[in-house]
């Protein structure tokens, strides 16, 4: 019995049915919800210019010059215009609109990656890759503000889809050039990666070269225009690294910014790439491997990537789609170990989304500072775990302005009535548990058993516990300083009620707190000026003051019973 095989004179085999575009569209809103689920933007000084530019484009105002690529702001302008109809585009409004735009770009990129993987693997595996791409890698961190990386990812995932489709239908080759050119124009960090992909595709299909180059024209023109613009986005690259070897090592494995530390699932994906090469996919695996290596070499050759305020090395997210194309094969090979690395990646990103707030940079400076990059005990991940603070947030609109409602929770945090300071953290004691969830915010730091306040947003937070809200209390604050002490009371849903106390030298304030008449149970103590606070107590109004009398300095302090 013979079986007839296909011959050149016969019709070519039909193109296989690929993944459903409707499934990709269904994934986008689900992943968008996941990306914005932490409820708060996590911006950076490096994203302010892009957000201002997008707001200007949305409102038709005169454009501001600055180191912000035009293309991400142009793509984000419709989101900013829609947001501007709901609330004012002030600092908070722009930050929130920037997060929404970046998250939308990331979700759309994940949908395109789903299609690319779906041409090679079952749709269930493609959906898993798309979800991990969005929520288990640095893409989640890049989506928290208007970084240029998510706009570039949108084009890179489209280019990857074109490359995968070109293997089955060469008519897709010419389209590859358009998203590659636009990706480089959106984010100069991916320039080397885009050039490698462009050269690889041109070498594989040389007859398609004219159409391929023609398709890159819009992106090339925009990139050239940006390159010669004063203060253009190429300034984001910063200075060439003086010791490139040390920077490459830091890029991969340093506790402060190492790619493999913050996204360990790339190890599994890289193993899948190697397996694809061994199974015969030589051209695709080699091309994408060279592109990833070129991207890492390009990023690590500059020093600016290390100094940015971000959760992990955001410029490396450009290489993720190329590697994650092979993630299913890597999971097949690694088994439970691969699943553990994937789970660890998701956990790291969850910590970044629900805990990270730039406090690490406020205390330790940028990761490029001497001695910071390799300090494991004081790395951003170890720091957030030691703080144990989780932040649930929800955007709100009040009187036409955007606001972020936040509820901080200290996991397994102590409860008590008296707060002192030792080491680098508050110490909560006292048999009468009147307050909990005590933690420091922003640049607040402990030095010589005193809490130093005064830097921007530096504060001490505490929450009045339900059992203590039934009786009048006093918030007793002892220390020294100059300026104005601010005591803010609020709920998750309400605007804060603030009381101001003038400080000059030593002080002992008694701030009356009566829950039915208060602004809420969430109390924040901050200073406009500077102050060194030695102790804070939340005790019944008639309780003795002696436990707070820690020395002769307090006996000489001014007893300012302003709150009574």
Q: At what angle do helices 173-186 and 70-86 cross, to 10 degrees?
A: 70
Q: Report the relative pairing of strands 497-513 and 389-398 from DSSP bridges.
A: unpaired
Euclidean distance between CA atoms 484 and 486, whole angstroms:
6
Contacts 24+ apart (CB under 8 A), 132-135: 132/265, 132/324, 132/327, 132/342, 132/345, 132/346, 133/109, 133/320, 133/321, 133/324, 134/31, 134/34, 134/35, 134/106, 134/107, 134/110, 135/31, 135/34, 135/35, 135/346, 135/349
- Residues 282, 345 share a domain: yes
- Residues 143, 47 share a domain: yes
- Residues 423, 349 share a domain: no
**What mean pLDDT value characterizes the chain?**
89
- Residues 124, 256 share a domain: yes
Q: Which of 330, 364, 398 is the last residue of a domain?
A: 364
Q: Would you state the pLDDT for residue 151?
A: 97
Q: Would you state the pLDDT for residue 558?
A: 39
pTM of the model: 0.90
Please give the average per-residue pLDDT across 180-206, as a whole number.
Answer: 95
Q: Which of 305, 340, 364 is the last residue of a domain?
A: 364
- Residues 188, 42 share a domain: yes
Please give the average per-residue pLDDT across 427-450, as a whole number.
Answer: 94
Euclidean distance between CA atoms 93 and 375, whole angstroms:
36
Q: Would you state the pLDDT for residue 548?
A: 45
In a domain, 494, yes or no: yes
Sorted by sequence, the CB contacts under 8 Å of residue 385 that are 6+ apart come out as 351
In a domain, 388, yes or no: no
In a domain, 381, yes or no: no
Structural domain of 504: 413-560
| Confidence band of 433 (pLDDT split at 50, 70, 90) | very high
Determine whether 466 is exposed, middle or buried from the number of CB atoms within 10 Å of its CB (0-12, 13-18, 19+).
exposed
Please check whether residue 288 is in contact with residue 323, taking contact to mean a CB–CB distance below 8 angstroms: yes
Please give the average per-residue pLDDT across 160-184, as a whole number.
Answer: 94
Structure tokens at 26: 């269904």
pLDDT digits (tens, 9 = 90+) for 293-347: 999 999 988 877 777 789 999 999 999 999 999 999 999 999 999 999 999 999 9
Residue written as token pair 């804070």: 536
Euclidean distance between CA atoms 12 and 512, whole angstroms:
84
Bridge partner list, 498: 488
Please give the average per-residue pLDDT across 411-440, as a whole number.
Answer: 94
Please give the average per-residue pLDDT across 511-526, as a whole number.
Answer: 96
In a domain, 12, yes or no: no
Which residue has better confidence, 376 or 39? 39
Question: Residues for the chain: how many in total?
Answer: 564
pLDDT digits (tens, 9 = 90+) for 27-40: 999 999 999 999 99
- Ramachandran region of residue 490, left (φ > 0), alpha (ψ -120 to 50) or beta? beta
pLDDT digits (tens, 9 = 90+) for 264-279: 999 999 999 999 999 9
554 pLDDT more than 50: no
Domain of 541, CATH number, reads 2.60.120.200
- Residues 261, 127 share a domain: yes
- Start-end of H helices in 228-258: 244-253
- Residues 111, 39 share a domain: yes
Q: Which of 10-24, 176-190, 196-210, 413-427 has the lowest mean pLDDT?
A: 10-24
State the Rg of the chain over Cα.
Answer: 27
- Residues 357, 282 share a domain: yes
Structure tokens at 71: 């293309």
In a domain, 377, yes or no: no
Listed residue (1, 390, 70) closest to 223, CA to CA: 70
CB atoms within 10 A of CB 267: 17
Provide the strand spans (E) within 97-177.
Answer: none
Q: Would you state the pLDDT for residue 541?
A: 80
Structure tokens at 289: 């491997």
Sorted by sequence, the CB contacts under 8 Å of residue 132 that are 6+ apart come out as 265, 324, 327, 342, 345, 346
Q: Which of 364, 397, 428 is the last residue of a domain?
A: 364
Please give the average per-residue pLDDT across 494-501, as a whole number.
Answer: 93
Give the 3-state secondary structure of residue 312: coil
Residue written as token pair 């105002």: 61
- Helix then strand count (H, E) for the chain reads 22, 12
21 pLDDT more than 70: yes
Number of structural domains found in the chain: 2
Please give the average per-residue pLDDT across 528-543, as a whole number.
Answer: 92
Q: Would you state the pLDDT for residue 237?
A: 60
In a domain, 279, yes or no: yes
Euclidean distance between CA atoms 536 and 123, whole angstroms:
57
- Residues 352, 246 share a domain: yes
CB atoms within 10 A of CB 392: 15
Q: Would you state the pLDDT for residue 2?
A: 47
In a domain, 380, yes or no: no
Q: In the chain, pLDDT over 90 holds for what percent of residues? A: 74
In a domain, 383, yes or no: no
Give the 3-state secondary structure of residue 9: coil
């Amino acid at each position: 019995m013979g079986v007839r095989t296909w011959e050149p004179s016969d019709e070519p085999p039909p193109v296989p049915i690929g993944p459903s575009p409707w499934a990709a569209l269904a994934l986008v809103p689900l992943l968008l919800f996941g990306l914005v689920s932490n409820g708060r933007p996590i911006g950076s000084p490096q994203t302010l210019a892009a957000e201002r530019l997008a707001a200007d484009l949305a409102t038709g105002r005169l454009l501001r010059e600055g180191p912000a690529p035009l293309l991400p702001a142009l793509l984000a302008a419709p989101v900013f215009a829609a947001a501007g109809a709901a609330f004012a585009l002030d600092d908070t409004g722009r930050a929130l609109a920037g997060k929404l735009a970046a998250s939308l770009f990331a979700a759309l990129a994940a949908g395109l990656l789903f299609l690319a993987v779906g041409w090679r693997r079952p749709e269930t595996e493609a959906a898993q890759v798309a979800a991990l791409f969005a929520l288990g890698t640095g893409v989640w961190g890049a989506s928290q503000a208007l970084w240029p990386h998510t706009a570039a990812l949108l084009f890179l995932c489209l280019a990857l889809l074109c490359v995968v489709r070109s293997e089955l239908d060469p008519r897709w080759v010419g389209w590859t050039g358009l998203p590659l050119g636009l990706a480089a124009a959106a984010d100069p960090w991916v320039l080397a990666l885009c050039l490698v992909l462009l050269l690889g595709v041109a070498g594989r299909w040389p007859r398609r070269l004219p159409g391929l180059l023609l398709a890159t024209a819009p992106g090339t023109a925009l990139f050239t225009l940006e390159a010669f613009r004063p203060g253009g986005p190429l300034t984001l690259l910063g200075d060439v690294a003086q010791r490139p070897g040390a920077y490459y090592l830091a890029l991969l494995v340093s506790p402060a910014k190492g790619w493999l530390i913050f996204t360990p699932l790339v190890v599994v994906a890289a193993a899948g790439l190697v397996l694809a090469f061994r199974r015969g996919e030589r051209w695709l695996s080699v091309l994408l491997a060279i592109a990833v290596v070129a991207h890492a070499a390009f990023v690590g050759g500059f020093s600016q990537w290390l100094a940015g305020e971000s959760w992990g090395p955001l410029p490396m997210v450009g290489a993720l789609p190329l590697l994650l194309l092979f993630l299913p094969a890597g999971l097949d090979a690694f088994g439970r170990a691969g699943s553990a690395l994937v789970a660890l990646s998701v956990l790291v990103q969850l910590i970044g989304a629900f805990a990270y707030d730039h406090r690490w940079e406020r205390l330790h400076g940028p990761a490029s500072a001497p001695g910071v990059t390799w300090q494991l005990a004081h790395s951003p991940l170890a720091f957030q775990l030691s703080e144990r603070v989780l932040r649930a947030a929800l955007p709100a609109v009040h009187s036409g302005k955007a606001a972020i409602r936040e509820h901080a929770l200290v996991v397994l945090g102590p409860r008590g009535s008296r707060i002192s300071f030792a080491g680098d953290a508050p110490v909560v004691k006292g048999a009468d548990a009147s307050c909990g969830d005590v933690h420091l915010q922003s640049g607040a730091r402990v030095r010589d058993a005193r809490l130093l306040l005064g830097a921007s947003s530096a504060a001490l937070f505490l929450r009045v516990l339900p059992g203590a809200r039934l009786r009048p209390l006093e918030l007793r604050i002892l220390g020294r300083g100059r300026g104005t002490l601010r005591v803010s009371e609020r709920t998750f849903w309400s605007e804060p009620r603030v009381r101001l106390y003038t400080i000059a030298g030593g002080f002992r304030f008694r701030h009356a707190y009566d829950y039915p008449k208060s602004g809420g149970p969430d109390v924040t103590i901050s200073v406009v000026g500077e102050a060194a606070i030695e102790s804070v107590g939340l005790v019944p109004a008639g309780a003795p003051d002696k436990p707070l009398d820690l020395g002769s300095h307090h006996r000489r302090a001014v007893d300012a019973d302003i709150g009574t």
